[in-house]
Structures are given as C-alpha cells and as structure tokens.
Chains A and B, each alone.
Chain A
Amino acid sequence: MTARTDELTSLETDDPGNWTTRLRGRIEGLVPAGQALPARQPVYVASWIYIFGVLTLTSLVVVIASGCVLALGGVQWWHVSSLGHYVNSVHLWSVELFFGFMVVHLWGKFWMAAWRGKRALTWISGMMLFGISIGTSFTGFLSQSNFSSQWIGAEGKDGINSIGAGAFFNVLNPGQMLLWHVVLLPLGVGLLTLLHIILVRRRGVVPPLDAELEG
C-alpha cells in the first residue's frame, strides 16, 4: 500500500457512517482473504464426487447460453429453423445434464453431511436452488408452443389452481409463463447460485466426518 492509500484508509476509518465504506467492508469480508479463488485446497479434497458442483455450474452456463441463442430467434424460431431446432435440443439436453449433475451433487453432499461447520445456509440455498430450478424447467416446458405445452398447461393448472396460486400464476397464459421463464426465475437461479458459491468459498470445503487437527 502506498502512503497515499494509507492516508485514505485512515480518513475512511474516521467516517464509519459512510455507507460506501460499510458496503465495501461487507463485500470484502464475505470471503476470507485469498479464498475467493485459492490455488490450493485442503488435502481431503481428493475424490471425483467433488466435481459435480462445478459440472452443475457449467451445465447452467450452457443452459443460459443456449437459452440466449433461442431468445435471439424468438419463441417460434425453433419450429421453422433446423439451426433453431438444434439450439433447442442443446438447451433441452443441457437442462437434463444440469439436473443430473445437480442431483448427484446433492447425493454426495448428503452422504458427506456437508451442512456441518456452519454450512447450514449452504445446504439450504442448495435446496432452494433445486426447487427454483424445477420451477424454471416447468415454465420452460410450457414455453415450447407445441402439443407438450398444451398438455402440460392443461394438467399443470389443476395442481397450481388447487392451492390457490393459479389465480396469480396462469399456466395457460404463455405470455406470462415465458417471461417468468426467461426473466424472473433465471434471475432467482442466478442470485441463489451466487449466494451458494460465496458461502462455499467463505467456509471452505467441509472437513471429513470425525476429522481432527494435529495438536
């Protein structure tokens, strides 16, 4: 740090009410120094089960990217273009991979009791991600503008109406369902993913059950 930065920092310490300083402090304190992208991991991180988190994340990247390409062409594009149909297929299969990897990740984290060591919120945010992903995929299937969408809407409405939610969330309204699918729910997925990853980096990878430190 330069002398100039030293001076600025001490000036800021005298201004603890400053919202900017406080926010910066919170952001910097989210993850221990050097732990956002460390080049080392604890020695017990040595199993293929650990790759399913990053496989889920990269699947999500492909889901979103293929979704963006579909958005370029619009809702009907994939019905009339073979390229559009291929992109739709990539979107479908990346979603299947996303759920497949996510569930294996869940199985792994369960059998490792990964909620230990103040990681309950990591577990909870993961479960919320599972739930909101199911909702996102449901609105996606509703947005196909084909026979499947018609049937899924006709059937799905009964479940959603039965709990009173159908008055606000109309699965027979493709205009509403599409906007939930491409705006609101992905925003929720994105924010929860960010929270989940920050928590993982904050606490580090959970130690083995019954692990003890030397000394």
Chain B
Amino acid sequence: MSRDRTPDSHDFPTRRYDLVKEFVIALVVVLVLSGALAAVFSSPDEKAITMSGWAKADPDNLVTTAAGELAGTTTSAGYGAPYNTAAEGQKLGPIPMQKLGGVRIPINSADLVLGPLSNSSIDPAVSSAVATWKAATPDQQTKWATAYSDAIGTAAADGAPATGAGGEVAKVKPGEYGPVPALSSGLLALAKTGGLEGALTSSGNFYGGDQTKSLLLLADGAYLEDLAVAQNLGGDQWGMMNEVGNAPGQPWMWLYTFWYQVKPFSTSDNADAQVWGLMMLLTLLLMFLPFIPGLRSIPRWIPIHRLVWRNYYRTKRA
C-alpha cells in the first residue's frame, strides 16, 4: 500500500439511510440493555474495610505493622518517590522513572504511628511512650523497633520456618524494646476506637477527602491484601481485570495484567515500569498502524473484509 488509491467515498452510488433513526434505535437498545442488566445483576458494594475492622480481625498484624513503620521496614518506609528517598525506585532500562517524579507526597512512615498517637492519645502511658521515642537518637529508635519487630517475627509459611514469636505478639519474649511495644499497642487501641482514619487524614484540614496515609498504612499490613487475594484481586491472579464476587471488572485490562503473570515481569523488581513501557509501545504501534508497512497490510492478507462487503463485491462481479 505504498500509494493510497482509495477512491473518495462521496463518488459512489448511494442508498437511503436514516442515521438519526439508527441513533435513536441504538439508544433505546442500550437503555433497555443497561436497565435490564442492572436490574438482574446489580453492582457490587463490598464495604470499605476500617482500621477497627483490621484491629478486630488481625490485631497481631496491626501491631506488627506499627512496629515495622517505626523500624522503617514496611513497604511504604522503603518505597522511594513520591513518598520518600529511601529507595531509588523503579527504572525503565537506564531511566529512573519513579525518581523523576520527585518526592511530592512526603510521608514519613514512622509518622503513620506517631502522628495519630501524638495528636489523639488520651492514654498517659502512650503519651509518655511518644515522649521517650522523640527524646531518643535515631539509632536508638531503630534498635528498639527492629528488635521488637524481630521478636514478634513471622508465622511459618511456604516451607520457611517460623521466626521470633511466630507473629504472635502475646508470646514475645522480654527484651530491649524501649517504648515500641507501648506505641504499637497504643495504635491498636486507637484503631479499635474507630478514630485512627480521622487521625491519619492527609487532607490537612477539617474536611476529609485525602486518604493517602490511611491507605498506605493499610497497604503495609496484611489485612487488606489477604481480603483482596481471597477475592482473586491479587496482582498475580489477573486481579486488574477482576471485581469482588461474580461482578464483571475491567476485562479490557487483560493485556495489561497478562504481562505480570509471565516472566520476566513476574520476577522483576522493575515490573511496573517495564509493563507500562511495553504497553505504551504496543499502544503506539496500534495507534500509528496506518503508517507501519506490513502491520497495516494484515487486513489484506486475512480478508475478513470480504464478509463485510460481500454484497458490493458480488455486484461488481456481476
């Protein structure tokens, strides 16, 4: 197709055709279909999980997460841009894409614990623990928090043996943990009251609307993820396409999520940036298809169009 010899469509013989009637009929069809599908299948509305729900369902995990925030070992603590400079972030080849965005949403993970406890706590033991923490050197803080996190440990999983107290806070052996146990259990207590989300609001004023800190804390824990994986929403479960229960999700995300299921992306530290880069390339290829020799000739080689225009081709032959 080096020279486009397509004739002008306006030069062809015509037939009567009612575009407006076609539009109105299509509109009625879509209205009826949407209305019927909505009536029969509804839409899912699984209630948002709360910090108090987390506290009740898995208190040990909330305490572990709090200790991790103080130790700087949680996902958000080591995330990098846009939250902090703790990591280089993901790269696309040599380009440090994640870092290029800059730290424009500064979040100190320890503040996810200390912020709510400093502002909201009415328990003198917790206030005293906050004061002790703030008076200590950063090195001392890290020592305490790391020691407590290690002491809590993790349950046995995937063939690996249990560590520390196997994740059970009540079984932690005595040790040099400073104010960390009091801070972590203080956060648990605040979560149980239902006040933690409000104390973590990122909006900066009376009006909510920015849940960044609450969601980062939830994402650092296991509760949110465990519930999601149970609903097949995990990243290695084609989760991007799915919704809770039997509801349809975003099936058009199939190719985006496909790459996460296969190597090298499934084991890559830069998977997100790499998948984005690949999908951007494929999108551009499809977008500029009219200019790509070979690819743009596929409709010629696989002549499905002969079905579309069979009346026309038959008339021409006659």
Q: Using CB atoms and an 8 Å cutoff, list the residues of chain A in contact with chain B.
A: 32, 35, 37-47, 49, 51, 54-55, 57-59, 61-62, 66, 78-79, 85-86, 88-94, 96-97, 99, 103, 108, 110-113, 115-120, 123-124, 127-128, 131, 134, 137-138, 141, 144-151, 153-155, 157-159, 161-168, 170, 172-176, 203-209, 211-213
DSSP majority for the A interface? helix
Tell me, in angstroms, the Cα distance from A115 to B289 when the chains sit together. 9
Contact A116 B37 (CB under 8 A): no
What residue of chain B has the Cβ atom nearest to residue A122's Cβ? B290
Contact A208 B313 (CB under 8 A): yes
Contact A117 B8 (CB under 8 A): yes
Knowing A88-B43, A90-B38, say if A44 contacts B312 (CB, 8 Å): yes
A-B contact pairs, 21 of them (CB 8 A): A47-B309, A62-B34, A86-B42, A91-B43, A94-B30, A97-B34, A103-B252, A115-B290, A116-B4, A146-B47, A146-B48, A150-B218, A151-B224, A154-B224, A157-B219, A164-B100, A170-B210, A172-B202, A172-B211, A207-B12, A209-B305
Contact A161 B10 (CB under 8 A): no
- What chain A residues lie within 8 Å of B288 (beta carbons)? 124
DSSP majority for the B interface? helix
Contact B215 A150 (CB under 8 A): yes
B160 CB to closest chain A CB (Å) equals: 24
Tell me, in angstroms, the Cα distance from A204 to B10 when the chains sit together. 7
Contact B39 A86 (CB under 8 A): yes
What residue of chain A has the Cβ atom nearest to residue B105's Cβ? A170
Q: Using CB atoms and an 8 Å cutoff, list the residues of chain B in contact with chain A.
A: 1, 4, 6-20, 22-23, 26-27, 29-31, 33-35, 37-39, 41-49, 79, 81-82, 89-90, 92, 97-105, 202-203, 209-212, 215-216, 218-219, 224-225, 227-228, 233, 235, 239-240, 243-244, 247-248, 250-253, 270, 272-273, 275-276, 283, 286-291, 296, 298-300, 302-305, 307-309, 311-313, 315-316
- What chain B residues lie within 8 Å of A79 (beta carbons)? 45
Tell me, in angstroms, the Cα distance from A127 to B102 when the chains sit together. 30
What residue of chain A has the Cβ atom nearest to residue B44's Cβ? A148
Chain B CB count within 10 A is highest, among A62, A92, A151, for: A151
5 closest cross-chain pairs (CB), A and B? A164-B101, A204-B9, A117-B6, A175-B209, A162-B272
